[in-house]
């Protein structure tokens, strides 16, 4: 399951528990074991376009050697994993208003493509859940907290995965041309989280 019924109590949405930091369900097994589950999209081939190589895939969700969600992009950037595609869709539904098209930033909010260079999932999740204020004499930047917004919380690993792929240059601007099929585990977790 990707979310609990009380998102803020212990923050167990998207399989991430801040404090003891257990990343998404995809990283539950040892990251040292790069073998995907049989039957998962991309099983047997974890090579990906872009600098961040997935170390593991479970139920269609790829993770890096640290257990952070990551992308699986193939065919010269034309085909992405389901979570990257879902992240693209969720970014455009929830984040584009402030952070601009394709995560490039706007006059209102900074570029997330730049911000994610070197940002791990735990830091990203902390900002999404609790918000952030950057106030100085010349500007006041405020990122609202989304800890109660299931449309963001239930898809936080997906949004991170898409922005990470953008940040690494593995996917370009615009909608990905092709994607892996939606995993059954994703659909089940989505249904449970959105209740």
Do residues 104 and 113 make contact, with C-beta atoms less than 8 angstroms apart? yes
- Residues pairing with 74 in the sheet: 79
Structure tokens at 88: 């693209």
Q: Using pLDDT thresholds of 50, 70 and 90, give the confidence band for residue 6.
A: very low
Predicted TM-score (pTM) of the model is: 0.75
- Residues pairing with 132 in the sheet: 143
- Residues pairing with 77 in the sheet: none
Q: b vs e for 51-80, b when ≥16 Cβ sit within 10 Å of the residue's Cβ?
A: ebebbbbbbbbbbbeebbbbbbbbeebebb
Tell me the pLDDT tens digit for each residue of 19-45.
323 333 333 333 333 344 334 444 445
Tell me the pLDDT tens digit for each residue of 149-185.
999 999 999 999 999 999 999 998 889 999 999 999 9
Structure tokens at 96: 């584009």
């Amino acid at each position: 399951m990707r979310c609990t019924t009380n998102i803020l109590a212990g923050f167990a949405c998207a399989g991430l528990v801040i404090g003891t930091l257990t990343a998404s369900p995809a990283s539950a097994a040892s990251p040292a074991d790069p073998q995907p589950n049989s039957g998962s999209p991309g099983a047997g081939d974890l090579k990906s376009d872009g600098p961040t190589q997935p170390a593991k895939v479970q139920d269609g969700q790829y993770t890096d050697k640290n257990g952070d969600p990551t992308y699986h992009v193939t065919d010269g950037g034309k085909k992405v994993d389901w979570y990257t595609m879902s992240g693209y869709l969720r970014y455009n539904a929830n984040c584009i208003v402030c952070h601009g098209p394709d995560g490039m930033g706007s006059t209102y909010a900074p570029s997330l493509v730049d911000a994610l260079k070197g940002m791990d999932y735990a830091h990203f999740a902390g900002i999404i859940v609790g918000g952030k204020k950057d106030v100085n004499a010349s500007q006041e930047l405020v990122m609202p907290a989304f800890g109660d917004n299931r449309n963001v919380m239930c898809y936080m690993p997906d949004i991170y995965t898409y922005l990470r792929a953008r940040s690494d240059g593995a996917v370009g601007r615009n909608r990905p041309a092709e994607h892996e099929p939606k995993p059954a585990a994703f659909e089940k977790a989505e249904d449970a989280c959105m209740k």
